[in-house]
Each structure stands twice: as C-alpha cells, then as structure tokens.
A and B are shown apart, each in its own frame.
Chain A
Amino acid sequence: MSIITKYGFAATIAASFVSVTPVMAQTEYQKKFEGVELNVMNPAFPQFAALWKFLPEFEEQYGIKINVDEIPFDQLRQKSLVEMQQGTGRVDVFAVDVMWLAEYAAAGFLAPVKQYVDNPELTAEGYDIDDFLPRVLSGTGVYNDTLYTIPIGAGPVGTTFRGDVAEAAGFTLPEKFDDSFTTEYMYEAASKVHNPENGMIGFANVPGRWFWGVTYLPYLYAFQTPETKGDEYVGEDWKITINNQHTIDSIDYYVSLKDFMPADSANWGIGEATQLYQSGGAFGVWNYQDFITGFFEDGGNATINGKNKHLHTPAGPHGVIDPWFGSWGMGISVDTEKKEAAWTFIQWLTSKAIQERAIEFGAGPSRHSTYKSETVAEIAPWWTDTYEFMLTETNPDERIRTPEWAEISDIMGEEGNRVWIGEIDAAEAAANMEKKMTNVMRRGGYFIPGRTDLPKQLWRDLTYYDRLPSEWN
C-alpha cells in the first residue's frame, strides 16, 4: 500500500468515525471554562493511556487544559487518600478503582455527579446516561444509592492462550464462555504443550502473595456449587465460611498449576507471567480484559499478536464460572472549586464517541453502544464476546464490598502462598484463613450482638445493580 493510499485510507476511517459517532458539542455555558486547568490523577495503566491520546481534541474543543498525573498503581491509593484527607483541592478528577469507591464515598471525598448529568448546560444532549450497562455503572460508581463515578471501562478477569500452539499440538481451543472450557480441560491442555526444554511452559500463573486476591479468586468461585454461590467468604450472618472443601479443592487446583512453572515462581506477579507469555515462552496466562490490547494485541509483538485466544476463566467441576467484575471510574473531588469543568471533562471522556474510538488503543467499553459497535467487533472482538456476561452474569461484589476486603485479600495471599511454597497444605491454609478473617471481621464489629447497621449483602440479589442508570440519585 503506498503512503498516499495509506493516508487516504486512514482519512476515510477517521471521517467515518466523525460521521457515525456524534462529537460532543460545547454548550454556551461551558464556554466560561475556557482557560481553566484541571488536574487528573490516574494509574499508569494501558486503558488510561489509550484515553489520553484524545486529550488534545478536548483541550482544543473546550479550551480546558488537562494535566495528567500518572502514578504507579502501588502508590495511587495512598497518594489519592493523602490528597483527599487533607482536602488540598489540587486534584480535580480522581480515577477510582471499584474496590475503593465505598471507602472514598463514605468518607465524603467524592462529589455526587447526578446533578451534573441532569444539567443540560453541562451535559451534551447525546450523552445518554442510560446507554451505560446498568450493572457496570452502578457497580463502579454507586454507593448508598448515589452516583459518584462514571466508568471508563469494566471487564472480567480471563485467560489468554496461544491458539497456534494448540493447533500445532493437534487440538483446538473452545470459544469464550463455552461450557467445555473447564478447570480440568485447562490443566490437560496445558499438559499437552508443556515442554520447558523447548522453551514453552503450559501456564504462566501469578502466585505472588499480593496477587491471590485477583488471580486465585476465579478458582475459589469456580469450585463452588450452585448452592454455595454467595457464601464464598461469609454467610448471611457475616460469619466467615471460607474453611470448606470447595476452598481446599480450589487451592489444590491453583497450586497444581505449579507443575508448569519454574522453581522460582513463588513470587511471580503479573509482570513476570505476562512477560514470559509475550516472549512466546508460555501457552497460557491470566488476563484482565482491559489489558488485552496493551499486553497481547497491540501490534508491536509479532510473536503473539493475532495468535491468541482470549477466554473466560475456566468453569469448575460443578459448572460455576467466576463472575469477576473489575472497573475504573472517574470521580470529582469534593474539594475542587472546578467541579463543573471537571464534569465537562468526565462527560466528554465517557462519551460514546471517545469510548468507541479509544477501544482501538486499549481502552474498554462500558456502554451498550460501544459493546454493540461494529468497529469494536472488528478491532477488539473479545469485548463483543463479553457483552452478555457484563450485562447479566458479572457480580460487582465478587470481591465483597466491605472496608475489610484489603485484609481479607491479604490473608488469602499469605496463606495461599504458603501452600505454593510447600510450607502447609490447602486444608491448613483454609483453616488459617477462616481464623484470621474471623478476627478481622470481629475487629470490624460484625459480630456485635444486636447490631442492625451492617451493610447489605448485595451480591445475593444483584437486581440492586440492575437499576436503570438514570434512576440513581
């Protein structure tokens, strides 16, 4: 293709975007924000980098300057909390992980945004809040019936495999959400291609202590039965329920993946596992849907690009699949004096047009229109496959939404990692988890007799999250 033809083709694509997706128009009222500077704080993740590619357009259209403060994920929560608690007002827009929303909103660090959504002078006519998937919007941004953040994307945890390696070994991987993709199948498939002498391991797992709260959970859920769903960590009375045979089996399965791993794998994190997969040294690896473009399909790695099969996490022996829900939302600091300008930015960032265009660079969808987009189906089909799951199966409380979650997750990692290194067995780990988690919950006041103000266990009835987005306060 000649350069001229190539540019002509690109121009046609760009023009088609402009004609298909309406550009957010600046209202008369928003003109007063010209010259305003906004500070945005976010993690250094690929989905944010994809969105920031469009910032010059926003700055030109609205005359608002955006200063992005990218923070390593490990420091983001602490830095956000310091800024919020001190009420500096220096940061106007915060990126908020779904796991932090309850903490931030309860402390009054974030401004409710519904008033801005409903204000036609601040929100473009075509914004259409009801275009967001109900469970994604409420799971990401609603606390106590009030909307605090708007999701820039949401997705499940899954697995990625080398389709070409499977075919060379004489088998074809199932399609996403196919019932045949089970924990047993995954282990057998990995065994078939596992050949470390030739530089290919069956599965690159992520067993480092910190990561169990992310990478082990799909197996904790998968090993439940339909009857025990909802009781993975706590019962209806908030008593810890984790010490059971399902947990033990799930830990044993997770640790069995060690068969494919090098001897020094006990501290492997996402970086190590992903790097091995990217270099062509692993058949399968953990993924988070929002990272697929950035990690596996960015066009810069001929070893794996276009050769991957992006699947869900495997179903367990009783057919249960992990209902993982991960997402990031954008919220307005309660301390900023530029709330209206901040909302102008957020509504532009989460608009149909920007979301659809940013998918190509690694952002994720949170709107019906983006999931159903033909362009998205063409450039990132793994999102189209996930639409129904995010609409009806995903559970925003998969990691139970309590202030104690961070400790619960850490306890799982600590005990699980001890099993990985052979210090204890799965049964002892499950017993230790129950004991330690019970102490955490006791300290949190969950067992005080007569207490009536404990949070609702919304994961037992997900219809709460299925309310139409425009109905929240």
Chain B
Amino acid sequence: MSFQDLYKIESPAAPHKPKNWWVYVIILLVCFVNFMPYLWIVMTGLMDREAATASTPTWFFKPTFEAFHFLIVEKGIMYNFMNSTIVAVASTFFSVVIGMFCAYALARYDFTGRDDVSFWVLTNRMMPPVAILLPIFITFQTLKLLDTRLGLIILYTAMQLPFVVWMLTGYFRDIPKRYEESAMVDGDTWFQAFRKVTLPLMMPSITATSIFVMILSWNEFAFATFLTSIEAKTMPPSIMAYSIGASIQWNILGAAVILITAPLVLFVLIMQRQLISGLSQGVVKE
C-alpha cells in the first residue's frame, strides 16, 4: 500500500463531511482572478491593432492572426524560439545534473569548510547581472562566445547552479542516509545506492527544481540582450524589440506573450504532479 493510499481510507465512524459550496466559489474566484490577465493577453494577441488599442476594452471582436503573422513570417521569431528552447533545455540539463552531485556531496559528506562552500555557492546569486555584465562580455569576447548558443548555455548553467545546489541540498538531507547504507550493506557501491535508492526518491524534487531553472533560463533578458545579436538571440530580447518600439504594439505584445509562455505552461501542466509533490517533499518528517 502506498503512502497516498492511506489518505483514501475512511473510517465507518467518521462523521459525514459537509459539502462546503462556498469553498468552490472562493476557488473559482481565485482561479478567475489568476486566469484573467492571461486570458486578456491571449485575447489581445488575437485582436487587430485597432481593437487592441481601443480605449474601451471589448470582449467581442473579430479574431485575427495578423500579430502572429507579423512575428512568425515577417520577423522570423521561430528562429529565436528555437534558440530559447536549445539554450533553456541544455542549461537546465547541465545545471541540474552538475548541481545534483554538488548538492549530494554537501548533504552527505562532512568535510572541512562544507558550510562555507555552501554559502559561497549562494553568493553567486547575490550579484546583480548589471554588475557583472561587462566582465562577462569581455570574457565571452576573449573566448569567442559572443552571440553563440554555447555561450548562453555555459552562462545560464553557471547562473542556475547555486539555485539547484541550494534547493537539492535540502531535499537530499530529508532522505535518511540509512537507506543508502542499507543498499551498500547489500553490496551496492555508493553510486549504485545513489542511483537505485536516492535518485528515485529525489525525482519529484529534481523535477520541481528543473521546472524553476527552466523558467529562469527561458525568461532571462539582460544577458541575452547584451551577449547575443543575430545568431543566438533568444525570445525575451526579440519580443522587446518587435513589440515595443517608439510605441507599444499591444496585439503583437499579446501574441509574443502567448508564444513565449505557451511552452512553459504546457511543460508545467505536464509536470504539475511532480512539481507539487516535489515542493511538498520534506514538509512532513518521518
């Protein structure tokens, strides 16, 4: 019997649960308030320019794909979309894989300066991007990484590592060490114990961390603006350039927001179960 199944057992003596209809009203209200901005953006993306700039917002309009046509056909934004996908997926993969082992070491091994290492890893996240933009630009220039996807992948991996390490260190500490020790007593090496015992238990946490890292990489703007220009330009700087010129073109901005958020929304919806269980892992101590 799984842990979740325990919740499904109801005692015959348990009192009848009253149906609180107002709970559903509140939930619907909260959902509506949260969903409205996105719904409005989607609608704006499907408006023509005149409807999008109308001073009186309208719910009923003739949908058009002119903003999508502008972005996809005239501006070729799908190339930027591809860049974003490659950079976000690759940097997420590398930062999570590398960060996972760092976090494991910090959680499991006692060595001199462990807390210091843990703290100094975090300091990397404290630096505002604008302060390190120029040094990174010069480094990229020297290494010929300017306007390359490889450059962004390396940078984002380095940027997200501290976040991954800190998130996963806590989760690793929540998994009792004796599970691995038992496996090692049975003859596994530490790596086998890690792979067969700890890793499956960590999957929800790793997935949740990956989702956050993916979102951070996908939406990164400042470095993408300054370090890329033609070949490796990602979605955020492209959207800024195409929709916000001397004035804001709201329907194009709406369409751009749909294009940039759709993959993330889809990704999170698919991973939703993992995300919730990953976030709640460690809340209940055994």
On A, residues with C-beta under 8 Å from B are 39, 41, 43-46, 49, 67, 69-73, 75, 78-79, 82, 86, 88, 90-91, 199, 270-271, 274-276, 278-281, 288, 291, 294-295, 300-303
A302 to B49, CA, bound (A): 11
Which A-B residue pairs are the 5 nearest by beta carbons?
A44-B245, A279-B55, A281-B55, A70-B241, A69-B229
Q: Are B147 and A90 in contact (CB under 8 A)?
A: yes
- Chain B residue at minimal CB-CB distance from A199: B55
CB distance from B113 to the nearest CB of A (A): 37
User: A270 and B225: CB pair below 8 A?
Assistant: no
Contacts A278-B53, A300-B50 given; indicate if A70 touches B242 (C-beta within 8 A).
Answer: yes
Contact in complex: A39, B53 (CB < 8 Å): no
Cβ-defined partner of B141 (8 Å) among A86, A281, A302: A86
B245 and A275 form a contact (CB under 8 A):
no
**B residues apposed to A, CB below 8 Å:** 48-50, 53-56, 133-134, 137-138, 141, 146-147, 225-226, 229-230, 233, 237, 240-242, 244-248, 250
* In contact, B137 and A90 (Cβ under 8 angstroms): no
Offer 8 A-B interface pairs, CB within 8 angstroms, sorted by A. A45-B246, A67-B230, A69-B233, A71-B241, A90-B147, A199-B55, A275-B53, A276-B55
- Nearest A residue to B228 by beta-carbon distance? A69
User: Which residues of chain B have C-beta atoms less than 8 A from A288's C-beta?
Assistant: 246
Expressed in whole angstroms, the Cα–Cα distance for A455 and B245 within the complex equals 33
B50 touches A302 (CB 8 A): yes
Q: Are A41 and B138 in contact (CB under 8 A)?
A: no
A412 to B42, CA, bound (A): 39
The reply to whether A82 and B226 contact each other, CB–CB distance below 8 Å, is: yes
**Chain A residues whose CB sits within 8 angstroms of the CB of B247 once the complex forms:** 270-271, 274-275, 291, 295
Name the B residues within 8 Å of A45 (CB-CB): 245-246
A421 to B241, CA, bound (A): 31
Among residues of A, the one whose C-beta sits closest to the C-beta of B50 is: A301
Interface contact B229-A41, CB-CB below 8 Å: yes
Check B245 against A82 for contact (C-beta < 8 Å): no
Expressed in whole angstroms, the Cα–Cα distance for A199 and B56 within the complex equals 9
Given contacts A71-B225, A291-B247, A295-B247, 10 further A-B contacts (CB under 8 A): A44-B241, A44-B246, A45-B245, A46-B246, A82-B226, A199-B56, A271-B248, A275-B248, A291-B246, A300-B50
> Are A82 and B241 within 8 A (Cβ)?
no
- In the complex, which residue of chain B has the Cβ closest to the Cβ of A75? B225
B146: A residues at CB distance < 8 A: 88, 90
Determine the distance from Cα of A271 to Cα of B244 in the docked complex, in whole angstroms. 9
Q: Which residue from chain B places its CB closest to the CB of A48 in the assembled complex?
A: B245
- CB A415 to nearest CB in B, in angstroms, measures 25
CA–CA, A75 to B129, complex, Å?
Answer: 15
Query: Which residue in B48, B56, B137 is a CB contact (below 8 Å) of A82?
Result: B137
> Which residues in A have their C-beta under 8 angstroms from that of B242?
44, 70
How far, in Å, is B179 (CB) from chain A's closest CB? 51
Q: A301 CA to B138 CA in the complex, in Å?
A: 46
B55, B133, B245: the one within 8 Å of A46 (CB): B245
In the bound complex, how far is the Cα of B134 from the Cα of A302, in angstroms? 47
The verdict on A79 contacting B226 (CB below 8 Å), with A72-B240, A278-B53, A303-B50 known, is yes
* B245/A43 in contact, CB under 8 A: yes
Give the complex CA separation of A70 and B248 in angstroms: 15
Which listed residue, B48, B54, B230, B241, touches A279 by the CB 8 Å rule? B54
